[in-house]
Each structure stands twice: as C-alpha cells, then as structure tokens.
Structure 1
Amino acid sequence: MSKVKYYYDPDTLSYRKIEPKKSKRYRNLFFFIVGAALFGFLGLIVLLNTNLLNTPKELSLEREVRNYELQYEILGKKMEQMEQVLGNIEDRDNNIYRLYFEANPIPEEQRRAGFGGVNRYKSLEGFNNSEIIVNATQRLDIIQKQMVIQSKSLDEIAKLAEEKEKLLAAIPAIQPVRNEDLTRMASGYGWRSDPFTKARKMHWGMDFTAPRGVPIYATGDGTVKRADNRSSGYGKHIRIDHGYGYMSLYAHLSKYNVSKGQKVKRGDLIGFVGNTGRSEAPHLHYEVFKDEERINPINFYYGSLTAEEFENMLKFANQENQSLD
C-alpha cells in the first residue's frame, strides 16, 4: 500500500494531502509495465537455456538423443569386436593360407587404407554429435573395405587351392603295380648292365617284375597321349600327360585298357604287364618325365607305400644290377 504524502498549508495553518498528477501516475505505470516485461523476457531466456524448464517435446528429444548416444556406444563395441575378428582372419590369410599356396601376402597399408579426396562425411558435420557419427561411419567404411579385400583374397585362395588339388592329383604319386602282384623290384633308375650287350648304360626308369597279365595302374590324373608300339624298344606302351610338365611312361605291356585321348584318374586300370619290345622277361618298365626331362620315379611313391616299404624299395633300386630292358 503506497504511502500518503502531505504538505503544510500556511494559509489554513493545516496539513493537506498531496494528490499526484495523472501524467506522473501514467508514467510510473508505463515504467512498471516495461520493467516487468523486460524482467519476464530475460527470465524466460534464462529458463529456456537451462534444464529448469523443458517442454514435453524437448524432454522426448533429449531422451531420443541419449538413446542414440547409447546405440552408437554399443555399435562402437561391436565394431571393435568385428575389427578383432577380421584382424585374426587377415593374419591367418597372410601367414597361413597365402604362405601355403605361395601367394604374396596383402600389404597392411592396402588393408588399412582410408578414403582420400572429397570429404565423404561433410553431410554429417555441423551437429551436436557429429564427431561420434563421423567416427562411426568412417570405421564402418574401413571395415567394409577390409571385408571386400578379404573376400577377394579368399576367392583367390580358393582358386589356388583348387589348382593345388589338381596338381596334387596329377603328380604321379603311386606305384604302378601293387606290391602283392610283384615278383620283385628288378632294377632302379641309374647306371645298369644291359641284359643284351652287357655294357654299362643309363637305365632311365624302374623295372617291376611281375607275371604276364598283372594289372598296371595310372599313377596320377591325366590324359593318355600314346597307347601304341611305335617307339623303339618299349614295345606296347602307354604315355600319360599329367599336366604341369609331368608325364609317365609304362612299357612292355601285353595289352591296353585305355586308348589315346582318354582321360584317366590315379588308380585307374590302364593295361597289363607283358614282355613286348626290347625286354628279357615279363615286367613293367616305368618312367617319369618333368618338363621333358627324365627324373627318378623313386621320389614319387609317397601316395602308396609305407615308410618301411619305401626303404626296402630304395635299397633294391640303388643296386647296380642288370636291368630287364
């Protein structure tokens, strides 16, 4: 309640009440309203910039933002796990798979390379949480690129494995006559006495003594290049081209079980032991070629002999006795 003011009137020798002017009253009222409005405006600004007063929509948006931040944190942990697993696969790829198949390892800088040139993440900038979003997107892009590189590497490894499998199947790796069918291992690769001239000469293969008609088996996958008797001294013989520079020859056969151009698998029956051509007794003369050069067949029996059987064969093959052809 406003105070009432008085003044002393000397004419009447009494105190009179001071009546304020209307203009002053209006002016005071104006200043009060302006001051109240200004104070209210400033107070509203302060409240809007603090958490003291939020609308339901703002509260909902805040919860949504906090939820997104939590989701990005979970995503970050999942990406970390993916990076660890992918790193383990890359390590095995470089140090086991590619090493085994004699392929060059993929350089680390190629696997970890980022993306240069134009800023790919410009549209994600300018927000409160831009740093989190950009970082997560960059990591996802790099992981995706690493997975593409690894996928192509595994495709290459699969092709190399398939080629390696074909190579291993093609190499002449078994004995052409079974042990139970052999009479003895007559002669090996090296200098031997000729059965007809008695002169010392190079024997380019191995002689397996066996009765006439004993089965002869292909020692590796390949294609029959010859099955005829038109080669001096060999009589009826078969040549199989195994690919990769390998060829095997089976001589002095009694008859064939394959024909020229026929594809065979390791272990297929291709002919029978005989005594045709320049031969002293029924036996199989067996040779192996690599890049058109004759090599010792003794090194190619890992697919059918035990260690003891191989040791016995090695002992007989190294004896400088008389060959049978």
Structure 2
Amino acid sequence: MSKVKYYYDSETLSYKKIKRKKGRRIGIALLSIVGAFLAGFILLVIYLNIPELETPKEKALKRELDNMTLQYELLNRKMDQVQQVLANVEDRDNNIYRLYFEANPVPEEQRLAGFGGINRYRDLEGYDNSKLIIESNKTMDMLIKRLVVQSRSLDEIVALAEDKEELLAAIPAIMPVKNENLKRMASGYGMRTDPFTKVRKFHYGMDFTAARGTPVYATGDGRVVRADNRSSGYGNHIRIDHGFGYVSLYGHLYKYNVRRGQRVKRGDLIGYVGSTGRSQAPHLHYEIFKDDQRINPINFYYGQLSPEEYDEILQQSQQENQSLD
C-alpha cells in the first residue's frame, strides 16, 4: 500500500500530492522519545516506591537477613541466661567457697578488667544491624573473660581444699530428698506468700513436695543435735550440726530414723516426709544456718547437679509463689 497521500484542489479541480515537512517529522520523533522517557521514569519511580515489587533474589536476601537478626536476638537471650548463672557462681565463689578456705574474694575489677580504652568493635560499625552484632560480641567477650577468671579461681579453691577433706565432707552439699526430675521444688528462699495468712513474708528455707513417708537424707556429715517437735511451726524436725558453723534443719517430718547425739554421714537416711506442725500439705522444709544465720540452700547443691540442672532448679527457686508452711 502506497504511503503517498493526495488532497483535492477545488480551484484546479484536480488531486495534488501532499508534501510532508521535515521539521514536523523531527518534532514527532522528539515527542515520541520524550514520551517514552517520561513513561520509563514514571514506571521506575513506581517500582522504587512499592516494596512488594521485589526480585526473587532480593526476597531471599531479605529472608536471610531477618533470620540472622532473629538468631542474634535468640543468642543474646541465651547469653543473658548464662550471665545469670555465672553471676551466681561468682557470688558463691566469693561468699561461700573462698569464705570456707579463708581466701580473699576476687575483686569485681579483676573479673571485668581489660574492656576499656580502644574501640575493638570498629570493624563491625556502619551496617544496618551493627548495634545488635556489636552488643552480641561485647557480651560474648565479657563472658569469656569472666569464665577464665572464674576457672582460675576454682583452680585455686581446689588447691586450698586438698588439706580440708573434713570440711568438704561436712558441708551440706546435696538435696535432702531424691529429686531426679527436678520437679519437687515447691518454694524457694526469699519473699513468698504465706499459705495461711496470704501475706507476703520472708521464707527462710526451701520446700520440696513429696508424698508422706518419702525418705529424707542428711546433706553432710555431722551430729544430730535435735530430733523433736518442740520448735514452733516446724513440727517433727531434725537439726544436724556439721561443724565449721554449719547446721541443717529438716522440718514437718512424719517420723525420725535417727536420735539426738547420733553421728551421720552425707546421704544417710534420717527421717520421712510428713506434714506436722505449721504445714499446708506433705512436704519437707529445709534450712541451712551458717554461724546462726539462715542462708540460701540453693548455693549448696553443687555436689550432685550439672550446670544445666542447677540452672533449672535456680529458676524454680526464684519464682515468687506461695510457700507450703
């Protein structure tokens, strides 16, 4: 089909060829280019401002980044739990172990030394999640430092203990009832709700739930100084003097298996769980005294628990619930 176009000239009464102007052709071409450019620019702006329009690779990278951020947050939570357990071990080291062997406590400055001065995390700055990554690295470095100091401290304690076997045997270092599944912890040392008055007051021992007649064991070597019911609230109870200022108490017993003045070894059967005295249900109320002052029994179960088991029972003992006596 011919692209030549004609028009009818009424004056000459004939058809004449239409001649296109070159300037108009150039204008149309430029207009087309400008229109295409504007359309492309508008589409680009729309693409950049609609987050849903992501390539498969971008989506995969975003999922990977989100997962990495989540894993760092979970790691920080786990490290927080480790720090709590380590802080408890450090407290026991300074206030119990070193006290046993008349050694000076490890200063806090020594445990945390070496983390001031230069910025050792500069290479981790400038990224979207720099703060999270830097905090994770700081926490990890701090834990490693504290663990090294604590390990050296315990090595020193072991050396001090070599000549003190009698003291180590006397310290009440196990739980007074069998608790393989760690489910018998009912109430710990600290502020608790009284089961009778419903008022919060300080609970000076640990309550272990157990059926009536469950065996109760001596937690360290010593001599039975009381096996009676003449102490208000405890009902039938036993007290063992371990020497070195330590006394353990076992309350609300059903009956005794020892008598006053008898020598016992750690792990010996001394009585049976009951609910005598000021008790709401069958359980064992257990206390430890050091130089006539009640102290938290949770610090003395190192003789039979792994670090993971100790962490679990520590969490249970810190719950502010209702005691059973």
Q: Verify the 8 A CA contact 1:174 1:303 in the aligned structure 2.
A: yes
Secondary structure of 1:167's counterpart equals: helix
Structure 1 residues 198 and 263: CA distance shift in structure 2, 3 A: same
Give CA deviations for 1:114-153 in whole Å, capped at 9, x if unaligned: xxxxxxxxxxxxxxxxxxxxxxxxxxxxxxxxxxxxxxxx
CA separation of 1:309/1:264 partners in 2, compared to 1, >3 Å: closer, same or farther? same
Identity of paired residues, percent? 76
* Runs of 4+ that moved beyond 6 A: 100-103
Q: Distance in 1 between matches of 2:199 and 2:101?
A: 46
The residue type paired with residue 184 of structure 2 is: R
Aligned to 1:107: none
Question: What is the CA distance between 1:161 and its match in structure 2?
Answer: 6.6
Please list, as runs of the form range in 1=range in 2, the aligned pairs for 1:71-150 lying within 5 A after superposition: none
User: How far off is 1:310 after superposition?
Assistant: 1.0
The answer on whether the counterparts of 1:182 and 1:209 sit within 8 Å (CA) in structure 2 is no
| CA distance, structure 2, for counterparts of residue 246 and residue 197 of structure 1 | 31
Structure 1 gaps of 5+ residues are: 1-99, 104-159
Q: State the Cα deviation string for residues 63-107 of structure 1 (Å, max 9, x = none).
A: xxxxxxxxxxxxxxxxxxxxxxxxxxxxxxxxxxxxx9779xxxx
Question: Residue 161 of structure 2 contacts residue 168 of structure 2 at CA under 8 Å; is this kept in 1?
Answer: no
Tell me how large the CA RMSD over aligned residues is: 2.0
Deviations 1:135-194 (A, max 9, x none): xxxxxxxxxxxxxxxxxxxxxxxxx97861000000000011111487521000000000
Partner of 1:249: 249
Quick one: distance in 2 between partners of 1:312 and 1:182? Answer: 8
Q: Does the Cα contact within 8 Å between 2:224 and 2:263 map onto a contact in 1?
A: yes
Residues 212, 275 of structure 1: 8 Å contact kept: yes
- The one-letter code sitting in structure 2 at the alignment partner of 1:249 is L
What residue is the counterpart of 1:278 in the other structure?
Answer: 278
Offset of 1:308 from its aligned partner? 1.7
Q: For 1:113-262, what aligned pairs fall within 5 Å after superposition?
A: 164-180=164-180, 184-262=184-262
Are residues 1:292 and 2:297 paired? Answer: no
C-alpha distance in 2 between matches for 1:324 and 1:310:
22
Map 1:38-77 onto structure 2 (within 5 A): none
**Structure 1 residues 180 and 213, CA gap change in structure 2 (3 angstroms):** farther
Measured in 2, the distance between the counterparts of 1:219 and 1:243 equals: 13
Paired residues of 1:183 and 1:211 also in contact (CA < 8 A)? no
| 8 Å CA contact 1:254, 1:274 repeated in 2 | yes
Give 1:291 deviation, angstroms: 0.3
Deviation, 1:306, is 1.6
Deviations 1:256-303 (A, max 9, x none): 010000000000000011000000000000000000000000000000
Whether the 8 Å contact between 1:214 and 1:273 is mirrored in structure 2 is yes
* Structure 2 unpaired stretches of 5+: 1-99, 104-159
Q: Between Structure 1 and Structure 2, how many residues are aligned?
A: 170
Aligned equivalent of 1:91: none
Q: Secondary structure at the match of 1:230?
A: coil
What SS class does the counterpart of residue 270 from structure 1 fall into? strand
- What is the letter of the counterpart of residue 295 of structure 2? I
Provide the C-alpha distance between the structure 2 equivalents of 1:181 and 1:272, rounded to a whole number of angstroms: 20
Indicate conservation of the 8 Å contact 1:182/1:210, yes or no.
no
Tell me how far apart the structure 2 counterparts of residues 205 and 281 of structure 1 sit (CA, whole Å). Answer: 16
Distance, in Å, in 2 between the alignment partners of 1:294 and 1:278 is 19
Distance in 1 separating the partners of 2:309 and 2:180:
12
With over 3 angstroms needed to count, the CA separation of the structure-2 counterparts of 1:102 and 1:291, relative to structure 1, is closer
Q: Quick check: which has more Rg, 1 or 2?
A: 1
Structure 2 partner of 1:307: 307
